[in-house]
Amino acid sequence: MDQEFFGPKLKYDHYLCKDNQLHEMMDNGYEGVMGICSTPPKDCLDFCLGQYERFKIPVHEGIMDAIELGVLDSLAVFDYVDPYALFCGISDVIMTNDWSNYAYEVRDNGRYYEVSPENVETFIYSPGTSEESFHHMMSHPGLQAIPQNLGMAITDMLDGEWRDQEDCSVAVNSDCRKALEDLCRGPDGVPNYTAVRAYFELAAWGAAAWIIGPPSRDFRMFQHDIFHVVMEHREAILVDGAVIPPTHYRKLSRPPQSCYRCEIAAWCVELTMETGNSRYICESCLSEGMPLGLQSPAGPTCGTKHCLLAQCPHHPYHYMGTAGIGRTMREYGQLGAVARGEAVTRIANKKEILLG
């Protein structure tokens, strides 16, 4: 669907004032959209501990605080710092630009109303994507293997970006820090702090693989409404913070805020009420076939509004093609009126400016 837009508001103008609803939730005091910023999920922790075992890296109860901190720093990136990260083509639910291509009507108390594209976010099911990301990460250990450069964001977290610059090795309690140093002492008895840091990074990498991949699918569906609805219905929209399934909205094959009858998106389209529903309708369809105005004092019209947009199929001179555009401006534009002595322009020419 490549419906042309007429008038000043273009398709991508909606991007300029579009709000990111998940970020707004974070700004309004929410502690993560999945609520995992303070306590690591047990399944995630068990998965990460399995990675230490996989690489034969020693672990004991004394360093559990360090492993939990690495897990939480990683999950915070997906839950709080960048709540859209999981929807950018790395998991089984992805965010789309359908909100800019289609009109969405939401059902409310039995009636439908079209929502503004600036308040709609669209999500669809992407089978196999989580598996692909997960298999890549498991075969490429390390934060640099996390898709979408998210490893850099996790590194910032470990460095204390969200902890008043308190590095992860400093953030743990003193007993845990000493236990880590004891595990990482070299032959000379001096702690290897690169190895100490690796303990945190392995936990963070394992947590990222878990939250992105199939092992967390049930958890994501339980903790995150978007995952739950999309996995159940194959798509969903987010409107003003509410996740809405397709059983409660209509996805229409016309541009957002376009005329619901003829589907043009023009400057004259306005929101009206019809049989209890709010509808966007253009001047021509609203006027119910009023005769085209050519020689009226207001200039050319297809209803009651003066219009110079001959590109619109409803315009009286549209049938003339590009010649109609020139004729419209020549006969009804303001400069044409000035040239004919029918109006006075306030635009000074260079001679008037020089002569004062």
- Chain segment 267-312, per-residue pLDDT in tens: 888 888 877 778 899 888 888 767 776 655 556 788 888 777 777 8
Name the phi and psi angles at 222, rounded to 5.
Answer: -75, -35
Query: Cα(154)–Cα(258) distance, rounded to whole angstroms?
Result: 42
pLDDT at 324 over 70: no
Candidates 312, 307, 302; CA nearest to 331 is 307
pLDDT of residue 16: 47
Look at residues 51, 224, 69 and name the one whose alpha carbon lies nearest to residue 145: 51
Of the candidates 222, 307, 299, the residue with the CA atom closest to the CA atom of residue 264: 307
pLDDT: which is higher, 258 or 211: 211
Q: What tens digit of pLDDT does each residue of 114-130 get?
A: 888 888 999 999 999 99
Contacts of 97 (CB under 8 A, 6+ apart): 122
> If you average pLDDT over every residue of the chain, what do you get?
84
The answer to whether the beta carbons of residues 148 and 88 sit under 8 Å apart is: yes
Q: Per-residue pLDDT averaged across 195-205, rounded?
A: 97
Question: Quick one: what percent of the chain has pLDDT higher than 70?
Answer: 79
Q: How far apart are CA 121 and CA 42, in angstroms?
A: 31
Nearest to 6 by CA among 288, 257, 278: 257
d(Cα 12, Cα 258) in Å, to the nearest integer?
14
Least confident of 85-89, 121-125, 212-216, 266-270: 266-270
Q: In the structure, what pLDDT confidence band is assigned to residue 150 with cuts at 50, 70 and 90? A: very high
Q: Encoding tokens for residue 97?
A: 């630009």
User: How sure is the predictor about 13, in pLDDT bands with cuts at 50, 70 and 90?
Assistant: low
Q: Give the 3-state secondary structure of residue 185.
A: strand
Q: Which ranges of the chain does DSSP label H, i.e. alpha helix?
A: 13-16, 21-27, 42-54, 64-76, 98-101, 129-139, 150-158, 168-171, 174-183, 193-212, 217-223, 225-233, 283-286, 322-332, 334-339, 350-355
Question: What backbone phi and psi angles, to 5 degrees, belong to 271?
Answer: -85, 125
Instruction: Dump pLDDT digits (tens) for 169-199.
Output: 999 999 999 999 999 998 999 999 999 999 9
Separation between Cα atoms, residue 356 and residue 354, nearest integer Å = 5
Q: Which residue has the higher pLDDT, 250 or 162?
A: 250
At 1, the pLDDT band (50, 70, 90 cuts) reads very low
